[in-house]
Structure 1
Amino acid sequence: MINPHRFSIGPIDAQIAMLRWGESGRPPALLVHGTGFVADVWDEVARQLASTYTVYALDRRGHGASHKPDAYHFLDYAEDVCRVIDALDLCDVYGIGHSAGATDLLLATKLRPGRFTRLFVMEPTVMDPRAARPGGLSEDSLTRVQGTLRRRAEFDSADTVFERYRTAPAFADWTEPSLRAYVRHGFVPLENGGVRLCCTPEIEFAILRPIYEAMEQVYVGDARGNPFVSLTEIDCPVRVTTAAKSGPIYKEMASRAVSLIPRVSTLVFEGAGHCVAQEVPERVVDAVREFAG
């Protein structure tokens, strides 16, 4: 089994950590993970796709070995994707993303028109700017976001993390290789032998606020404005997928994406939850190949 090649792009204070599977010279596929995870959770999918593509994946800002700045708006992430595309001089990219990582790709198509050949996006985080609501987050959502700050960040060992997460509802259906990849690369070792989350509760709190604002249709963006109107200008084919066991909000946001994107088709993964690529990676690979074909 060949391990992915690890490298980074960008200056030392703004580096984006990258993985590459497969040989150069093949069409590029760019994989972008969701909130809280790392590039390595794609490993089972990427290894299979590497027979056809040069497969790249990145640690999104705030995650893994990538930079940990203060800004976590949707366009910040989309601009990071563009940095990757520019640094690697990627063309005809097959973008494959999950959750907020899928949103990164959708928004990047506006910033780098003509660079993507197609997008396969699993339950993207999307608001419909045509149905924006005034005001801020509801008290319930504020409580949920603030609850992130109470998340446990340090553990005695990586084995302790694995055993704890193995029985947690969010990870119960993950394959063992996917969960072990997350535990290995989503935590940093400490001098006392313990481990700490790379995406700390404080960072995840900053990341989640814009996401919850998008969920509730109150996201207004920053000085650059609300970027979601650009989804109406995507010029490549897009497949938006949902998972039958996901929560209603994920299906609702996917429906918003479908209503905005011009050249769109849909797919439902039966019997799977939100983290479909870590639950049934073979089925994701088959679906990605089918859409390309």
Structure 2
Amino acid sequence: MINPHRFSIGPADAQIAMLQWGESGRPPSLLLHGTGFVADVWDEVARELASTYTVYALDRRGHGASHKPGAYHFLDYADDVGRVIDALDLRDIYGIGHSAGATDLLLAAKLLPGRFTRLFVMEPTVMDPRRTRSGGLSEESLSRVESTTRRRAEFDSADAVFDRYRAAPAFADWTEISLRAYVRHGFVPLDDGRVRLCCTPEIESAILRPIFEAMEQVYAGDARGNPFAWLTEIDCPVRVTTAANSGPIYKEMARRAASLIPSVSTLFFEGAGHCVAQELPGRVVEAVREFAK
């Protein structure tokens, strides 16, 4: 088994950590993970796709080995995708994304028209700008965002993390390879042998606030505004997927995306949850290849 090539792009204070599977010179595929994770959680999907594509994945800002600047709005992430595409001079890209990472790709397709051939997006984080609500987050959502800061950040060892996460409902259906990849690369070793989350609870809380605002249809954006109307201008075919065991809000946001995107089709994964690529990677590879035909 050949490990992916690791590299980074950008200056030292704004680096984006990258992985590459497969030989250069093949059509590119760009993979974007969801909130809290790292590029390595795509490993099983990427290894299969590498027989056909040059597969790239990145640690999204705030995650893994990438920069952690404190700015975590949707367009910040889309701008980072654009930086990667320009730095690697990628064209005719097959974009594959999960959750907020799927949203990165949708917005990047508008920022860089003509660079993507198609997008395969699994339960993207989307609000419908035609049905916005006034006001801020509900008390319940505020409480959930703030409670993230109390998440445990340090563990005695990587094995202790794996055992803890393997018993957690959110990771119960992940493959062992996917979970070990997350534990290995989503945590940084400390001098005393312990390990700490790369995406710290404080960072994750800052990342989640815009996401919860989008869920509740109250997102106003930053100084650049709300970019979700851009989805009506995406110029490539898009497949939006949902999963049977996902929460209702994920299915609702996928419906919002499908209602906005001009050239859209949908797919439903039976027997899977929100993190379908880490639960049933073979099914995802099959679906990705089917959409490419």
Secondary structure, in 3 states, of the residue corresponding to 1:68? Answer: coil
Cα offset, 1:201, TM superposition: 0.3
Listed one character per residue, the Cα deviations across residues 5-63 of structure 1 (whole Å, up to 9, x for unaligned) are 00000000000000000000100000000000000000000000000000000000000
Q: Does 1:98 align with 2:103?
A: no
Residue segments in structure 2 that go unaligned for 5+ positions in a row? none
| RMSD (CA atoms) | 0.3
Distance, in Å, in 1 between the alignment partners of 2:110 and 2:43 is 28
Distance, in Å, in 1 between the alignment partners of 2:139 and 2:24 is 50
Alignment of 1:11-30 (within 5 A): 11-30=11-30
Secondary structure, in 3 states, of the residue corresponding to 2:69? Answer: coil
Secondary structure, in 3 states, of the residue corresponding to 2:219? Answer: coil
User: Post-superposition, which runs of at least 4 consecutive aligned residues in structure 1 deviate over 2 A?
Assistant: none
Counterpart residue type for residue 12 of structure 1: A
Cα offset, 1:228, TM superposition: 0.2
Instruction: State the partner residue of 1:198.
Output: 198
Secondary structure, in 3 states, of the residue corresponding to 1:20? Answer: strand
Q: Does 1:212 align with 2:212?
A: yes
Instruction: State the partner residue of 1:109.
Output: 109
Listed one character per residue, the Cα deviations across residues 153-187 of structure 1 (whole Å, up to 9, x for unaligned) are 00000000000000100000000000000000000
Instruction: State the partner residue of 1:265.
Output: 265
Instruction: State the partner residue of 1:250.
Output: 250
Alignment of 1:52-91 (within 5 A): 52-91=52-91
Cα offset, 1:126, TM superposition: 0.1
Secondary structure, in 3 states, of the residue corresponding to 2:249? Answer: helix
% identity of equivalent residues: 86
Distance, in Å, in 1 between the alignment partners of 2:187 and 2:106 is 28
Instruction: State the partner residue of 1:7.
Output: 7
Q: Does 1:133 align with 2:133?
A: yes
Between the two proteins, the alignment pairs up a number of residues equal to: 293
Counterpart residue type for residue 118 of structure 1: R
Distance, in Å, in 2 between the alignment partners of 1:64 and 1:89 is 23
Listed one character per residue, the Cα deviations across residues 44-92 of structure 1 (whole Å, up to 9, x for unaligned) are 0000000000000000000000001010000000000000000000000
Residue segments in structure 1 that go unaligned for 5+ positions in a row? none
Secondary structure, in 3 states, of the residue corresponding to 2:170? Answer: coil
Distance, in Å, in 1 between the alignment partners of 2:275 and 2:111 is 27
Instruction: State the partner residue of 1:166.
Output: 166
Distance, in Å, in 1 between the alignment partners of 2:109 and 2:291 is 18
Distance, in Å, in 1 between the alignment partners of 2:154 and 2:141 is 25
Report the TM-score when normalising by structure 1. 1.00
Distance, in Å, in 1 between the alignment partners of 2:167 and 2:158 is 15
Distance, in Å, in 2 between the alignment partners of 1:10 and 1:113 is 22
Distance, in Å, in 1 between the alignment partners of 2:127 and 2:67 is 26
